[in-house]
Amino acid sequence: MRMVDLIQKKRDGKLHTKEEIQFIIEGYTNGDIPDYQMSAWSMAIFFKDMNDDERAWFTEAIVHSGDTIDLSAIEGIKVDKHSTGGVGDTTTLILAPLVSSIGVPVAKMSGRGLGHTGGTIDKLEAMKGFSVDISNDEFIRLVNTNKVAVMGQTDNLTPADKKLYGLRDVTGTVNSIPMIASSIMSKKLAAGADAIVLDVKTGAGAFMKELDESRELAEAMVKIGNNLERNTTAIISDMNQPLGFMIGNALEVKEAIDTLNGRGPADLTELCYTLGSHMAVLAGKANSTEEARELLQEAVKTGKALEQFKLFIRSQGGDDTIVDSPENLPTATKTIAVPSLSSGYISAIMADEIGTSAMLLGAGRATKDSVIDLAVGIELHKKIGDAVEEGEALVTLHVNDADYETVVEKVQAAYSISKEEIPSPQLIYDVIS
């Protein structure tokens, strides 16, 4: 087989065989196929797409380009959850203890944040002592004992995806549905998931800004999952504004505690119950999402979910006193109220700009090597639809030593205020399975 022939084949809109796709991914991973040929092929995919079979084979080939995690020693159906990235998205921190408290095994591999979106590991590390640096054996032991554990991504998971994503980033081929869908699904499959719940974000702060393209991505991922015999459900949820009120690592841990206590923000709580109930159904712990939701709500009401959070923290070396005493979390030295420049109703909040503002305060990484400040971030007081008076605080900045003057202006510019009353945006747009 010659790569040039395969590039021409796709350029002319023809279909690849499974062997051809394996040849491309193996050759690219081991260096036999150079970047310039892979770039040309990626551009051909961008314009000519892949059919459902090609997408499934492509995903499988990426899975087998590196290590895979074998979770078969864990009893039960392991359901993973993936979010396509947002601002203030604390759902993993809440869902891990919440769904495991009703018996769903949660064996999760998570990553660190980059740019305007936060990473689960950074948030977990805001709890003193918490470590995701655990061996595979310890990971499996913890899930079998406690039903929950989170570990950091191993280096050799889906190396073909790492290499290809880097190439797509500089060749204008990131925004291709088959490429994105396979990239995301390959990581979930390599991490050992039996079933997958996807939270596909849509709106200004999301990777996919339009509902139609978010739906197309969700459908593509669900099809790949189901073709590879993993029950997969996708929820399309709003990211036109940050989720919840807190953006920043320790601040989001605090918000997770509030939510597990039944006192969380309405949107974050609702999204967690929605995702959690689909996870419980896929894991076979409930026959319907309604039944699952009741189990989850009961776990919050009785304190079982919060006790499970303590167990999860303790078992991975963390300080579980933060659950009853959140003041033990890292706290910023200053709080700065950012006033509204006019009166009216909040009509839009540019979530990505708020995420970038939190990053500029030190809560996120501008580059992979940036050191983050776990204590700092942004607390929103106003969300879309809320009334506001001129001079009233839109947000509070939690600041240590960053220069916050430009952040104040950036946050003010991220809020749009209208004279007309504005309804709150819909949170859940669709469920696809």
Write down the least CB distance from residue 206 to ligand URA, Å: 11
Write down the least CB distance from residue 150 to ligand URA, Å: 18
Tokens of 357: 């503002």
Shorter beta-carbon distance to ligand URA: residue 151 or 200:
200
Tokens of 130: 């918490």
Binding residues among 409-428 for ligand URA as defined by CB under 6 A: none
Separation between Cα atoms, residue 326 and residue 313, nearest integer Å: 13
Amino acid residing at 47: F
CA 336 to chain CA centroid, nearest Å: 28
- Whether residue 354 contacts residue 397, with contact meaning beta carbons closer than 8 Å, is answered with no
Write down the least CB distance from residue 199 to ligand URA, Å: 13
Write down the least CB distance from residue 367 to ligand URA, Å: 18
Contact call for residue 180 and ligand URA (CB under 6 A): yes
Among 93, 151, 184, 286, which residue interacts with ligand URA (rule: CB under 6 A)? 184
Shorter beta-carbon distance to ligand URA: residue 99 or 179:
179
Here's the x/- map for ligand URA, 207-226, by CB under 6 A: it reads as x-------------------
Interface with ligand URA (CB under 6 A), residue total 6
Shorter beta-carbon distance to ligand URA: residue 124 or 179:
179
Among 18, 165, 291, 408, which residue interacts with ligand URA (rule: CB under 6 A)? 165
Which residue's beta carbon is nearest to the bound ligand URA?
A: 183
161 is catalytic: yes
DSSP labels, 97-112: HHHHTTT--EEEEE--
Nearest to 38 by CA among 158, 162, 163: 163
Distances (CA, A) of 262 to 169, 189, 231, 282, 300: 41, 33, 30, 24, 6
- Whether residue 366 contacts residue 298, with contact meaning beta carbons closer than 8 Å, is answered with no
Contact call for residue 179 and ligand URA (CB under 6 A): yes
Instruction: Given the residues 78, 147, 168, 293, select the one marked as catalytic.
Output: 168
Shorter beta-carbon distance to ligand URA: residue 184 or 384:
184
82 is catalytic: yes
Could you give the count of Cα atoms lying within 13 Å of 48 in the half-sphere of its Cβ?
A: 18
Instruction: Given the residues 78, 187, 201, 304, select the one marked as catalytic.
Output: 187
Instruction: Given the residues 10, 55, 64, 82, select the one marked as catalytic.
Output: 82
- Whether residue 158 contacts residue 190, with contact meaning beta carbons closer than 8 Å, is answered with yes
From 33-41, 176-184, 228-236, 351-359, span contacting ligand URA (CB under 6 A): 176-184
Among 183, 202, 240, 340, which residue interacts with ligand URA (rule: CB under 6 A)? 183
- For residue 196, how many other CB atoms are within 10 A of its CB? 28
From 106-114, 178-186, 353-361, 374-382, span contacting ligand URA (CB under 6 A): 178-186
- Whether residue 100 contacts residue 106, with contact meaning beta carbons closer than 8 Å, is answered with yes
Helix/strand/coil (H/E/C) assignment for every residue in 14-80 = CCCCHHHHHHHHHHHHHCCCCHHHHHHHHHHHHHHCCCHHHHHHHHHHHHCCCECCCCCCCCCCCEE
2 is catalytic: no
Write down the least CB distance from residue 82 to ligand URA, Å: 9
Shorter beta-carbon distance to ligand URA: residue 183 or 241:
183
Shorter beta-carbon distance to ligand URA: residue 237 or 316:
237
Shorter beta-carbon distance to ligand URA: residue 126 or 236:
236
Nearest to 326 by CA among 258, 409, 228, 398: 258
Instruction: Given the residues 80, 89, 122, 161, select the one marked as catalytic.
Output: 161
Mutual angle of helices 35-48 and 159-169, in 10-degree steps: 80
Write down the least CB distance from residue 66 to ligand URA, Å: 15
Helix (H) or strand (E) holding 357: helix 351-361
Shorter beta-carbon distance to ligand URA: residue 150 or 292:
150
Give contact residues for ligand URA (rule: CB under 6 A). Answer: 165, 179-180, 183-184, 207
Q: Report, as residue numbers or ranges, the catalytic residues.
A: 82, 161, 168, 183, 187
